[in-house]
Structure 1
Amino acid sequence: MILRTERTDARTWPREQLAELFSEGFPAFITADPVSKEYIGRVREWFADLDLMLTDEDGVPVAGGWGVPIRWDGRADTLPSGYSQSLVRAVEGREQGLAPDTLVICGAIVSPSLKGRGLAGRALGALRDAAGEAGLSRVVAPVRPTTKARYPLTPIDSFVRWRRADGASMDPWIRTHERLGAEILAVAPASQTMSGTVAEWEGWTGLALPESGEYVIPDGLSVLRVDREGDVGVYEEPNVWMRHR
């Protein structure tokens, strides 16, 4: 498939095309991250050159991805705590006048009808190319391992070690990054923290949450902790830090 890379803000995309592209996107509770809500506006305004769409021969978006630039010294122990902290570091770094040297790939998506054709890898490749054009020498990603949702009670430290018989990661999204040469650097046990009322969580998950305690939720990579008396549910999403270069 011949693809063209465009900035997402280059034009107005037909609503039906975006609906198709994002029809199998992230779970509803992913929007309950207060840190992301606070910083995402400035991220979209300031780092639009790192928010890309891949289009087919007819100009229809078939994949996309985005990231943020940060300053990082290359050591695993000085990485952001995960996705949310990457947004904070990017925005505050710009406000402080720090010159970034690293792209954090924050997400990538492929049209559901075209999965299995290598488009996710091409979206990651487009972001790596954009990093080079922006003068960012390092590329890392807090990867959301999709298969982890089948094992929400397993610590991310253990899950990340699981391998198939051929030595590849058991998780397909980690494998995609590995096929492009990325290596696992560290785990991010609380890459994002989502919080909401009990009623909100019942709406996001479709579950009744009748008492305080821990719940396994649809598409959750870890458990939801509910406090009925405080009327709050908190979910910490684990990711895996991977380095492309």
Structure 2
Amino acid sequence: MNYTVITAAEKPEHKKTHDHITCEIWPEFILNDPISNANFKNIYKTFAEYQFSILMDDSIVGFANAIPFYWDEDLGNLPEEGWDWALLKGFEDNSNNKNPNVLCGLQIGIDKKHQGKGLSQLIVKEMKSIAIRKGFKYLVIPVRPNMKSKYPLIPIEDYIQWKDGNGLPFDPWLRVHVRQGAEIVKVCHKAMYIPGKIEDWEEWTGMKFMSSGDYVIDGALVPVKVDVENDIGEYVEPNVWVSYKLSE
């Protein structure tokens, strides 16, 4: 497979294509995480060398986003807040001039026209390569187990134990990482927190929320808790921390 890797440090204009792919592949509610909306765009300036595109025939077919941070505890102590925490931690450590020792993957995006062609494994491989070249000890990722959205009522602790016929994780994204040598570390139950008014959730989902309760919605890994009386819907997404050991 012939491809080229180009970072945002080399081609900052690639961000526009990354944004377009992001909007196409994620449910609308995911695009309304307040922490992401306040901070994510800044990774292209502050951490440009860790944002990269995969090009084939001069077209961007996929990309990845990552952020470095410093971690001196056991990986089993990585926070419950997962994705949201990692994004804030990277900027905080950078502001405090902490020398990072871990690279954290935040997103892998593949153009819809090129999904199902094995690009996910290729992009993970390139993210690992960047982390190794930069001298990081670990690559960690709060993985969004994408098939979990089909089983929103199953506890994620049970779901990640499911195996396919080869003894690998049932979930396709977890399977990609395990095949690449990752270790599943733990669930992070509060990886993303997305609150919104009832009208926001109705716009994001195309549903009506007439009564308070837990609602199953397309693309959500767990139900959304709706409180009509207080005009709020809350989604707390669980992810799964995985880690790659890159050096001794």
**TM-score normalised to structure 2 length:** 0.92
Give the partner amino acid of 1:184. Answer: I
Cα distance between partner residues in 2 of 1:85 and 1:163: 29
Q: Post-superposition shift, 1:191?
A: 0.4
Is the CA contact (8 Å cut-off) linking 2:50 and 2:130 kept in structure 1?
yes
* Matched residue, 1:148: 148
* Matched residue, 1:62: 61
Q: Post-superposition shift, 1:117?
A: 2.0
* Matched residue, 1:239: 239
Cα distance between partner residues in 2 of 1:142 and 1:14: 22
Cα distance between partner residues in 1 of 2:132 and 2:160: 28
Cα distance between partner residues in 2 of 1:74 and 1:24: 37
Q: Post-superposition shift, 1:78?
A: 2.6
* Matched residue, 1:7: 7
The answer to which of 189-198 and 113-122 deviates more is 113-122
* Matched residue, 1:160: 160
The answer to which of 144-153 and 116-125 deviates more is 116-125
Identity among equivalent positions (%) equals 30
Number of residue-to-residue matches in the alignment = 243
Cα distance between partner residues in 2 of 1:208 and 1:97: 47
Q: Post-superposition shift, 1:226?
A: 0.7
Q: Post-superposition shift, 1:225?
A: 0.6
Cα distance between partner residues in 2 of 1:111 and 1:41: 19
Cα distance between partner residues in 2 of 1:124 and 1:146: 16
Q: Structure 1 pair 23/234, CA: closer, same or farther in 2 (3 Å)? A: closer
Instruction: Give the alignment of 1:43-62 within 5 angstroms.
Output: 43-56=43-56, 58-62=57-61
Is the CA contact (8 Å cut-off) linking 2:25 and 2:112 kept in structure 1?
no
Instruction: Give the alignment of 1:15-164 within 5 angstroms.
Output: 21-22=21-22, 24-56=24-56, 58-73=57-72, 75-80=74-79, 81-164=81-164
**TM-score normalised to structure 1 length:** 0.93
Q: Post-superposition shift, 1:21?
A: 4.1
Is the CA contact (8 Å cut-off) linking 2:53 and 2:60 kept in structure 1?
yes
Give the partner amino acid of 1:94. Answer: N
The answer to which of 20-29 and 172-181 deviates more is 20-29
Is the CA contact (8 Å cut-off) linking 1:23 and 1:112 kept in structure 2?
no
- CA RMSD after TM alignment: 1.9
Give the partner amino acid of 1:73. Answer: D
Q: Structure 1 pair 20/197, CA: closer, same or farther in 2 (3 Å)? A: closer
Q: Secondary structure at the match of 1:181?
A: coil
Cα distance between partner residues in 2 of 1:111 and 1:37: 21
After superposition, what is the alpha-carbon deviation per residue over 1:94-151, rounded to whole angstroms, capped at 9, x for unaligned?
1111110001111101122222221111111111111122221210110000110011
The answer to which of 60-69 and 2-11 deviates more is 2-11
Unaligned runs of 5+ in 2: none
Q: Structure 1 pair 19/44, CA: closer, same or farther in 2 (3 Å)? A: closer
